Amino acid sequence: MKLAIAKVERNRDNEIVKESPVDMQAILADREKLLTGVLPTDTVHIESIYWNIRDGIFQVHFSLGGVDQAGNYHRNPNYKVETEIWGRTRTPALWARYNLENVKNISFDDVIVWLFRENSVYFAIKDKWQLPASVEVKVVDDDGKVAADYKLGSRRAKISK
């Protein structure tokens, strides 16, 4: 799964009329030949997950970038890596909702769904990355099918698996 991000234009009936990348970024396409390219910024990528049950801390670092034709992720340097922190005492409702005290394994797919459901990326879009209000996020599975369509931050999401 991945979190896809785009500027979304809607008509008066709230139907999507146009989707476009949030930004464009320059990349080094071939290091040996020193070829450069341009890549759309359209993906939110999980950089790392830190989970410490003993101290009751769950932390996710995520960034904004794009994926090239070879499947390699490139972080857009114009946007810093953001951090989401949940804790047993800091956010007890989230800690309990995702059973972080007792769960044995956490997958990246789990974390993608959690970030989407809890609007963590929406708050990064709005408050940290300061992107336009027209930017929305959706969850896409590994086959490219939409698992959870675009949503604004105030709507609760249902994820199909």
8-state DSSP, 103: -
Answer for the pair 134, 9: CB distance below 8 angstroms, yes or no.
Answer: yes
pLDDT at 57: 95
CA–CA dist 150, 94 (Å, integer): 22
Residue 44 has pLDDT above 50, yes or no: yes
CA–CA dist 42, 6 (Å, integer): 6
pLDDT at 150: 80
pLDDT at 154: 42
pLDDT at 156: 45
147 backbone dihedrals φ, ψ, rounded to 5°: -90, -30
CA–CA dist 39, 139 (Å, integer): 20
User: What is the pTM (predicted TM-score) of this model?
Assistant: 0.83
pLDDT at 141: 86
Q: Is 93 helix (H, G, I), strand (E, B) or coil?
A: helix
CA–CA dist 83, 80 (Å, integer): 10
